Amino acid sequence: MALIKICGLTRPEDASAAEAAGAAFLGAILAGGPRLLSPERARLVLGARRLGVRRVAVFGDQPVSEVVELAGRLDLDVVQLHGAHAASDVAAIARASGCTVWPVVRVAGATLPDEAEALASVQETLVLDAHVVGQLGGTGVALDWEALTASVHRLRERLPSLTLVLAGGLRPENVADAIRLLSPQVVDVSSGVECAPGVKDPVRVQQFVQAVRAAAERSR
């Protein structure tokens, strides 16, 4: 089964509900947008370390030194890198922080950006999100999963151990199709389970988890 990341958390009670529903990753945004948190608020929202649940923060164009410092302060497991970071930045952050680093590429159309393979090869992990001008993520815009299948297949041929994290417009109603077409190891949802920006709807969260589990059952 694809693991589930509930991102854009802004309230401690939503993080607890996501954990109870079966999320494997809890995400806080430090990159900007309507779900932006201060480091202090992010620490409060993520709460105490939870057994079996990994802590993620999403960064934008912050300097490497700042990302490393905040990763330690927030006791992160995963650093998710939007913005214009290079493969060398991914390697430097992973080395200095001890965290897993998820570089993000924003996709428009049927092919992955030129930098996708270089970014993915550092830790054999890559996040795909929709390209929306002026925004780093959390837009609710879905990728064209079917059009991307060939491009993703070629990347997997070159990086057989790739962990693919799929974001961008996922909802309970469409996540099964996304899983069927691209077989991601992680599905990353934010606005698709909200009743308002940054406020998670526990019913939608449960529906999302159930849809992912149903997709896994159908693939057996």
| Residue-level pLDDT, tens digit, the chain, 220 residues | 999 999 999 999 999 999 999 999 999 999 988 999 999 999 999 999 999 999 999 999 999 999 999 999 999 999 999 988 999 999 999 999 999 999 999 998 889 999 999 999 999 999 999 865 455 555 567 899 999 999 999 999 999 999 999 998 999 999 999 999 999 999 999 999 999 999 999 999 999 999 999 999 988 7
Number of structural domains, the chain?
1
Question: Using CA atoms, how far apart are residues 211 and 187, in angstroms rounded to an integer?
Answer: 11
Q: What are phi and psi of 110, to 5 degrees?
A: -105, 0
The whole-number pLDDT of residue 133 equals 44
Question: Using CA atoms, how far apart are residues 4 and 190, in angstroms rounded to an integer?
Answer: 11
DSSP 132: B
The whole-number pLDDT of residue 135 equals 54
Q: What are phi and psi of 189, to 5 degrees?
A: -125, 145
Which residue's entry shows tokens 């599905």? 187
Q: Which domain does 24 fall in, by range?
A: 3-219
- Give me the CATH number covering residue 179: 3.20.20.70
Closest listed residue to residue 58, CA positions, set 194, 200, 134, 46:
46
In DSSP terms, which residues pair with 103 in a beta bridge? 81
8 Å CB contact between 53 and 19: yes
Output the CA–CA distances (angstroms, integers) from residue 144 to 149, 156, 168, 180, in the order listed.
Answer: 9, 18, 10, 13
Question: Using CA atoms, how far apart are residues 89 and 83, in angstroms rounded to an integer?
Answer: 11
The whole-number pLDDT of residue 138 equals 54
Which residue's entry shows tokens 């779900």? 35
